[in-house]
Amino acid sequence: MMTSAATVDFNRLTHAYNHVFTDAFTSRKITPENLKSVFEQTQVDLDASQILIEDDRIIGFGFLGIRGQSGWITSVGIEPDQRGRGLGRDIMQALIHTATSRGLSTLQLEVTDYNEVALNLYESLGFETRRKLLTLDGEDKPSIDVQHPVTDIKAEHALSYYDAFHTIPAPWKRHQHSLSQLSRTHRAWMMNQAAYAIGYAWGGIIYLDDVGFLPGEEAIFGQLLTAMQSEDVLMRVHNLADNEPAWDVMQSLGYEAGIIQHEMWLNLAEA
């Protein structure tokens, strides 16, 4: 039985979520409170999201985030012992139907390039890759001169520069709404009011959830990253699109891509 995710107790939903992803590349053990926070950040609509129940057991699910006329599909998962039955396709078709009935114009999703089964499924449903989303690691401190000081500011204040620093639309999880939900736990580094990085430091790694700079200020952005990095700290940037200006700068500084995802789109008017 396919039904709305809003009809199921959230603790039960969280348990199913954790169980389905126990064999994922990155194990996702998450509490109900943390899962609710993730859904708030990405604007997941539980009424529009779908779960598949068989013999009173949740055997699959897919969640749909909605922003205006756009939708974003995330965490489509099937219980390991139920895979190979075409249930992922059933859930995807249900989500596409829901998005269409809600009047959405486009659907997006992200899938790692090594997940060929899911990639083939999404392509068969009409999704097309628009660009690649990269997780970048920088291990070595660049040897460039830093001519300006770094200012440590609140993430909330840094986000007032968001529109000016993003001439190309950022991926769904780096939308300003998503970042604003993280502002209580994140900090921001800024240089010359021309470039910023938003993230947090933990365990010898600086995790950056957003980076950006004013048009033409590539040099300032490079200096900012250089000033933030020390010899014993790894810098990691999540979900940077390969058509964003920051990618060219970071590549020139020696950052290397680890996890690569396809950002895929479906035009619902043509589906």
What's the confidence (pLDDT) of residue 27?
56
Rounded Cα–Cα distance for residues 105 and 141 (Å): 44
Q: Is 115 helix (H, G, I), strand (E, B) or coil?
A: coil
State the catalytic residues. Answer: 110, 122
Q: How many C-beta neighbours within 10 Å does residue 177 have?
A: 13
List Cα–Cα distances, 242 to 124, 148, 165, 258, in angstroms: 24, 27, 16, 13
Over residues 90-129, the pLDDT tens digits come to 999 999 999 999 999 999 999 999 999 999 999 999 999 9
How confident is the model at residue 245, as a pLDDT?
97
Residues ≥6 apart with Cβ < 8 Å to 115 = none
DSSP letters, 83-103, are TTSSHHHHHHHHHHHHHHHTT
Is residue 266 within 8 A of residue 260, CB to CB? The reply is no
Predicted confidence at residue 144, as pLDDT, reads 85
- The rounded distance, in Å, linking the Cα atoms of 241 and 168 is 9
Per residue in 240-256, pLDDT (tens digit) is 999 999 999 999 999 99
Round to whole Å and give the CA distance between 5 and 15: 13
* pTM attached to this predicted model: 0.93
Q: What is the structure's pLDDT at 115? A: 93
- Per-residue pLDDT for the chain (271 aa), expressed as one digit of tens each? 999 999 999 999 999 999 898 765 555 589 999 999 999 999 999 999 999 999 999 999 999 999 999 999 999 999 999 999 999 999 999 999 999 999 999 999 999 999 999 999 999 999 999 999 999 999 887 888 899 999 999 999 999 999 999 999 999 999 999 999 998 899 999 999 999 999 999 988 999 999 999 999 999 999 999 999 876 789 999 999 999 999 999 999 999 999 999 999 999 988 6
pLDDT at 38: 94
User: Distance between CA atoms of 260 and 115, rounded to whole angstroms?
Assistant: 11
Supply the pLDDT for residue 142: 81
pLDDT at 195: 98
C-alpha to C-alpha distance for 241 and 260, rounded to whole angstroms: 10
